[in-house]
């Protein structure tokens, strides 16, 4: 303000002095008066010019260049510049914060869609783009309801009751690869809404598997239980001869054994599900395992009471002294399941060949080859599913539970091994477990034998 007053007075004084000298002291009062007026006018024009420069500077919006540096206009320009700088800083800060929030939403494992008050998409993250097939360029500001046309979702969206979510198929859903999404709309602010989507395909599949499993177990137990209670009733109510009683008791024992086998297999599966992975410290001698398998096989083959004419031919190849690291009970259970299947599904005049061979790169293959009925190719991928059976009646008649190969697969996976099934209808089957070299230890004497045994 002082500068303004000072410049005004100075301008008048200079011009008054000029007026005084220009009139050559003939009429000093008039000269000074005219000079004062001219000085005032000059100051107004000068001040106006400075004001215009500040205005133009503001219009240009380039705050880096200073329009006027002194006086009232200088201060106006300076304060304006500082104010704009402060505002810009604040905008930048909130922009950074917004970007941080959006990055957090982007990192969310859920699909996130922000919808404005008129139902148009304002923003969505990559997961939502995968779930609904959105494209940023094409779909931003489009109406969400126009892009997602699933009838279940459409009914949910129009009804507007968002207390819970809704399950709908995802964009990539197909008959072979189902994709199920859980979608929940959360209203907020002034009519806006936040839509969260979550891929629940695996959850739904697990739930379906759990339901099937419970239904299968109930079914498997109900059948022998019904038969058992029928026999009990018969024994209680009918006068039976000694021979008949023995026959019924024998049948009852078979049903009880069937339930026992089922419970035992279920317990094995649950143990496999819940126990830690087998380590690499315990070594299992395959010589011992093969000897035990042979004894069990012989006993089972005799017990099955297969129709004549012949007994099954069981061949257990003499094995090199190999050790496999892992859980002894699991390894024995898996191998024993394969041998028992071969015996149960091979007719009495057939043969079963059990081998342990050293393969390339130090891998070891345990294989059970039978001359049984073989398995059609469409069944092979499903054999390891729980309760999946090709020959239902043969499985039941021979005490099968439908869980044997599921146990084998589990054990094989837990030991980092591979299960191979080679079979064709009418040409027998070969089930093999291939152990990786990390789990194999070959005793020095055995190391000389591999070629002989591989080609055997």
Residues that bind ligand ADP (CB under 6 A): 337, 341-342, 345, 370, 372-373, 375, 383, 388-391, 395, 400-406, 429
110 Cβ contact partners less than 8 Å away, ≥ 6 residues apart: 127, 196, 197, 198
Query: Cα–Cα distance between 408 and 271 in angstroms, integer?
Result: 13
Q: Which is nearer to ligand ADP, 193 or 301 (CB)?
A: 301
Q: Which is nearer to ligand ADP, 39 or 373 (CB)?
A: 373
Taking only Cα atoms into account, the Rg of the chain, rounded to an integer number of angstroms, comes to 45
Q: Which is nearer to ligand ADP, 325 or 384 (CB)?
A: 384
Query: Cα–Cα distance between 347 and 355 in angstroms, integer?
Result: 20
Shortest CB 390 distance to ligand ADP, Å: 3
Q: Which tokens sit at 416? A: 């980092």
SS3 state at 391? coil
End-to-end CA distance of the chain: 111
Is the sign of the CA dihedral 403, 407, 413, 416 positive or negative?
A: negative
Q: Which tokens sit at 80? A: 């304006």
Helical ranges in 385-443 per DSSP H:
392-397, 404-414
Task: Report the run of H or E that residue 268 belongs to, with start and end.
Answer: helix 242-274
Shortest CB 297 distance to ligand ADP, Å: 13
Q: Which is nearer to ligand ADP, 15 or 316 (CB)?
A: 316
Shortest CB 311 distance to ligand ADP, Å: 17
Task: Enumerate long-range contacts of 177-182, CB under 8 Å, 24 or more apart.
Answer: 180/204, 181/111, 181/131
Shortest CB 307 distance to ligand ADP, Å: 17
Q: Which is nearer to ligand ADP, 121 or 342 (CB)?
A: 342
Shortest CB 270 distance to ligand ADP, Å: 16
Q: Which is nearer to ligand ADP, 297 or 375 (CB)?
A: 375
Q: Which is nearer to ligand ADP, 213 or 388 (CB)?
A: 388
**Whether residue 309 has a cis bond before it, omega within 30° of 0:** yes
Query: Cα–Cα distance between 341 and 339 in angstroms, integer?
Result: 5
| Helix axis angle, 201-237 to 242-274, nearest 10° | 160
Q: Which is nearer to ligand ADP, 224 or 372 (CB)?
A: 372
Query: Cα–Cα distance between 398 and 337 in angstroms, integer?
Result: 13
Q: Is-contact 44 36, C-beta < 8 A?
A: no
Q: Which is nearer to ligand ADP, 11 or 346 (CB)?
A: 346
Q: Which is nearer to ligand ADP, 293 or 406 (CB)?
A: 406
Query: Cα–Cα distance between 359 and 433 in angstroms, integer?
Result: 12
**What is the secondary structure of 296-354 as a DSSP string?**
HHHHHHHHTTPPSS---EEEE-----EEEES-HHHHHHHHHHHHHHHHHHS-TT-EEEE
Angle at 421 between CA 419 and CA 422, to 5 degrees: 145
Q: Which is nearer to ligand ADP, 12 or 341 (CB)?
A: 341
Residue nearest to ligand ADP (CB): 404
Shortest CB 269 distance to ligand ADP, Å: 11
Q: Which is nearer to ligand ADP, 118 or 393 (CB)?
A: 393
SS3 state at 103? helix
Q: Is-contact 434 421, C-beta < 8 A?
A: no
Shortest CB 391 distance to ligand ADP, Å: 4
Shortest CB 453 distance to ligand ADP, Å: 23
Shortest CB 399 distance to ligand ADP, Å: 8
Please, which residues bridge with residue 188 across strands? Answer: 192
Q: Which tokens sit at 443? A: 């005793």
Please, which residues bridge with residue 419 across strands? Answer: 433
């Amino acid at each position: 303000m002082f500068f303004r007053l000072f410049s005004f007075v100075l301008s008048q004084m200079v011009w008054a002095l000029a007026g005084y000298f220009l009139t050559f002291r003939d009429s000093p009062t008039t000269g000074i008066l005219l000079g004062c007026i001219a000085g005032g006018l000059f100051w107004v024009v000068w001040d106006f010019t400075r004001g215009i420069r500040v205005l133009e500077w503001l219009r240009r919006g380039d705050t880096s260049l200073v329009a006027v540096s002194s006086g009232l206009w200088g201060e106006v320009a300076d304060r304006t510049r500082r104010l704009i700088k402060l505002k810009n800083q604040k905008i930048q800060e909130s922009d950074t914060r917004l970007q941080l929030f959006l990055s957090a939403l982007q990192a969310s494992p859920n699909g996130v869609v922000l919808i404005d008050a008129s139902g148009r998409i304002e923003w969505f993250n990559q997961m939502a783009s995968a779930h609904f097939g959105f494209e940023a360029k094409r779909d931003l500001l489009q109406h969400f309801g126009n892009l997602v046309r699933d009838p279940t979702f459409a009914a949910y969206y129009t009804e507007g009751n968002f207390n819970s979510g809704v399950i709908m198929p995802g964009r990539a859903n197909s008959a072979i690869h189902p994709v199920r999404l859980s979608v929940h709309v959360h209203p907020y602010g002034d009519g806006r809404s936040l839509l969260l989507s979550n891929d629940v395909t695996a959850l739904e599949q697990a739930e379906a598997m759990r339901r099937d499993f419970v239904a299968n177990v109930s079914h498997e137990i109900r059948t022998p239980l019904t038969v058992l209670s029928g026999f009990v009733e018969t024994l209680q109510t009918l006068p039976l001869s000694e021979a008949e009683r023995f026959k019924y008791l024998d049948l009852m024992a078979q049903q009880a054994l069937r339930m026992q086998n089922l419970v035992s297999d279920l317990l094995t599966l649950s143990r496999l599900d819940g126990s830690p992975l087998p380590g690499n410290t315990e070594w299992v001698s395959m010589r011992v395992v093969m000897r035990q398998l042979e004894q069990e096989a012989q006993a089972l083959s005799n017990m099955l009471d297969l129709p004549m004419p012949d007994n099954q031919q069981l061949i257990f190849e003499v094995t090199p002294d190999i050790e496999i690291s892992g859980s002894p009970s699991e390894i024995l259970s898996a191998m024993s399941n394969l041998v028992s299947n071969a015996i149960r599904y091979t007719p009495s005049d057939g043969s079963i060949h059990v081998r342990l061979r050293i393969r390339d790169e130090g891998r070891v293959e345990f294989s059970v080859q039978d001359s049984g009925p073989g398995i059609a190719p469409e069944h092979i991928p499903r054999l390891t599913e729980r309760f999946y059976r090709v020959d239902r009646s043969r499985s039941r008649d021979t005490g099968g539970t439908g869980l044997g190969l599921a146990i084998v697969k589990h054990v094989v996976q837990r030991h980092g091994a591979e299960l191979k099934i080679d079979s064709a209808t009418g040409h027998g089957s070969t089930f093999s477990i291939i152990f990786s070299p990390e789990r194999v230890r070959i005793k020095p004497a055995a190391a000389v034998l591999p070629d002989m045994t591989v080609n055997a």
